[in-house]
């Protein structure tokens, strides 16, 4: 059984599917209503953002529009192109790309897609998809509608470069993930409604009254064990529910654990409750600490070695977990490199195929089991980077089945003694959720699933 006792249960929602469908209808209705220049959709993790993008694009096409889709990375663009083309074989989809782009094989195999360097190459396409950076190079073309995916990760200055390409926009994104950032340290734009370092959605909303802001109410990804905690920690003012019931998802091993009792205990906790906190002895260490990173890799190796079977609504009969179903999430790129090396050392031949990446690059992705190296593990001080709510949110909300957090003991003390010295600015609303608070909520939850190594 997996229920979350730390958070107040949501009032009994109607059927999640009904609620989600109603939200989608309301969004499409607002788009059809000619009065709105923009429609914003906030989507918590795994709430069917891509489904909505595909659906909206198709509806627009049906209405005679020739919409464009703007995503932030080439991977996101490829994923969207594949989904659009597969779900709507009758619609010609164009993929606008830069020179040097190599389409993945799955995209090449589709018959209703065209890859082009310029708009002229894609003249026959009803939907054109590209990264924001690519759209920024397009001139002298205007479309009726743009669908902007992962819009909260797009900086306001990027929006400014592409906004003349469309009349109306559907802005879709997850406000809880990582904010865009700049390496330039300047205070000169703080407090301006058009601060170019802010995300495009916030800036657009600042300048336009009465823009409808919708919210997708159901996370189809997060299991019942995770949705309430994630909602409480990272979406304190906009709760959502899990789309799956009590016993829809389950993990079990095919073999008994014997060899590595420390790891097995953690895996057992994660398999039965959906969460585990694997806590290594307290120690101040550099972020490249081998023991921590190796433990994360070993957990993945052990999981694969024992053979896990996952049951869910897609596979009610169960399905063995493969390396690609598992991800290890870290804060820094050097940690990711070292975890990859550590995976090779686990001895499990499949371990190197486990996905390893930083929070930034895991945004928008989904796995069955995610192993997280806690950003604050072993640290002496918490910096704004390591405390950022969006970072932990990304890491702790990628999983469909279970999330295992690996850390050194001592995070509670570190949070407790963290100085509050963030600068305060005039007329700038405080950013929520606060990283400190969010970390506390997550830690309180994880403490219930602690396994001391």
Closest approach of other proteins to the CB of residue 29, in Å: 22
Are 396 and 353 a contacting pair, CB within 8 Å? no
Nearer to other proteins, 322 or 337 (CB): 337
Contact criterion met (CB below 8 Å) for 177 and 155: no
In this structure, what token pair is assigned to residue 25?
A: 């209808």
Q: Is 405 left (phi over 0), alpha (psi -120 to 50) or beta?
A: beta
6 or 208: whose CB is closer to other proteins? 208
Give min distance, CB of 275 to other proteins, in A: 25
Question: Three-state SS for 451?
Answer: strand
Nearer to other proteins, 111 or 421 (CB): 421
Residue 281: how many other CB atoms lie within 10 Å: 10
Cα distances from 177 to residues 89, 96, 359, 372, in angstroms, run 32, 26, 9, 16
- CB of 430: closest distance to other proteins in angstroms? 4
Q: Residues 6 or more apart from 385 whose CB is under 8 A from it?
A: 331, 375, 391
Closer CB to other proteins, 189 or 253, in the complex: 189
Task: Report the nearest approach of other proteins to the CB of residue 425 (Å).
Answer: 6
Q: Smallest distance from the beta carbon of 128 to other proteins, in angstroms?
A: 19
**80 vs 203 by CB, closer to other proteins:** 203
Contacts made by residues 448-451, CB under 8 angstroms, sequence distance 24+: 448/6, 448/275, 449/269, 449/270, 449/273, 449/275, 449/276, 449/277, 450/277, 450/279, 451/262, 451/265, 451/266, 451/269, 451/276, 451/277, 451/278, 451/279
C-beta of 333: minimal distance to other proteins in Å? 7
Task: Give the residue ranges of DSSP H helices in 277-422.
Answer: 290-306, 333-345, 359-362, 384-387, 389-396, 411-416
Which of 83, 418 has the CB closer to other proteins?
Answer: 418
Q: Which residues bind other proteins (CB under 8 A)?
A: 37-38, 136-137, 139, 156-157, 159-161, 163-164, 169, 182-184, 186-197, 200, 203-204, 206-209, 283-286, 288-290, 333-334, 337, 341, 378-381, 416-430, 432, 434, 436-437
Q: Is the dihedral of CA 255, 259, 265, 266 positive or negative?
A: negative
Taking the complex as a whole, the smallest distance from the CB of residue 340 to other proteins amounts, in Å, to: 10
Find where tokens 């994630």 sit. 230
Which residue lies nearer to other proteins by CB, 280 or 327? 280
- Cβ neighbour number for residue 410 with a 10 Å cutoff: 19
Q: Minimum distance between the CB of residue 93 and other proteins, rounded to whole angstroms?
A: 24
Residue 248 or 353 with smaller CB distance to other proteins: 353
């Amino acid at each position: 059984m997996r229920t979350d006792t730390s958070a107040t249960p949501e009032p009994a929602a109607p059927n999640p599917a009904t609620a989600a469908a109603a939200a989608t209808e309301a969004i499409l209705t607002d788009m059809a209503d000619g009065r709105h220049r923009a429609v914003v959709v906030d989507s918590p993790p795994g709430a069917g953002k891509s489904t909505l993008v595909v659906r909206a694009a198709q509806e627009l096409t049906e209405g005679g529009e020739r919409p464009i889709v703007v995503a932030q990375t080439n991977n996101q663009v490829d994923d969207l192109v594949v989904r659009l083309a597969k779900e709507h074989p009758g619609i010609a989809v164009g993929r606008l790309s830069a020179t040097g782009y190599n389409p993945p094989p799955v995209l090449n195999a589709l018959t209703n897609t065209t890859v082009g360097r310029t708009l002229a190459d894609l003249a026959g396409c009803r939907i054109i998809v590209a990264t924001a950076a690519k759209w920024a190079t397009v001139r002298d073309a205007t479309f009726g509608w743009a669908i902007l995916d992962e819009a909260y990760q797009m900086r306001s200055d990027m929006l400014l470069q592409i906004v003349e390409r469309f009349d109306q926009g559907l802005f879709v994104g997850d406000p809880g993930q990582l904010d865009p950032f700049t390496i330039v340290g300047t205070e000169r734009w703080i407090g301006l409604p058009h601060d170019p370092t802010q995300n495009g959605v916030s800036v657009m909303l600042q300048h336009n009254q009465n823009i409808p802001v919708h919210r997708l109410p159901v996370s189809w990804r997060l299991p019942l064990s995770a949705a309430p905690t994630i909602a409480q920690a990272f979406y304190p003012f906009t709760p959502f529910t899990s789309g799956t019931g009590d016993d829809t998802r389950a993990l079990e091993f095919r073999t008994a654990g014997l060899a590595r009792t420390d790891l097995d205990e953690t895996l057992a906790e994660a398999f039965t409750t959906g969460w585990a906190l694997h806590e290594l002895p307290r120690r101040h260490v550099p972020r490249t600490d081998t023991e921590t990173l190796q433990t994360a890799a070993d957990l993945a190796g052990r999981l694969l070695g024992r053979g896990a079977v996952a049951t869910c609504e897609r596979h009610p009969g169960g399905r063995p977990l493969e390396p690609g179903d598992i991800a290890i999430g870290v804060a820094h790129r050097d940690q990711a490199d070292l975890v990859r090396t550590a995976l090779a050392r686990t001895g499990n031949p499949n371990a190197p195929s486990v996905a390893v990446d930083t929070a930034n690059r895991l945004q928008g992705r989904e796995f069955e089991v995610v192993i997280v190296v806690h950003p604050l593990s072993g640290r002496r001080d918490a910096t704004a980077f390591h405390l950022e709510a969006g970072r932990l949110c990304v890491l702790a909300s990628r999983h469909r089945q279970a999330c295992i957090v690996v850390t050194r003991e001592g995070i509670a003390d570190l949070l407790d003694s963290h100085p509050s010295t963030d600068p305060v600015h005039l007329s700038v609303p405080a950013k929520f959720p606060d990283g400190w608070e969010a970390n506390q909520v997550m830690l309180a939850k994880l403490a219930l699933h602690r396994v001391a190594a």
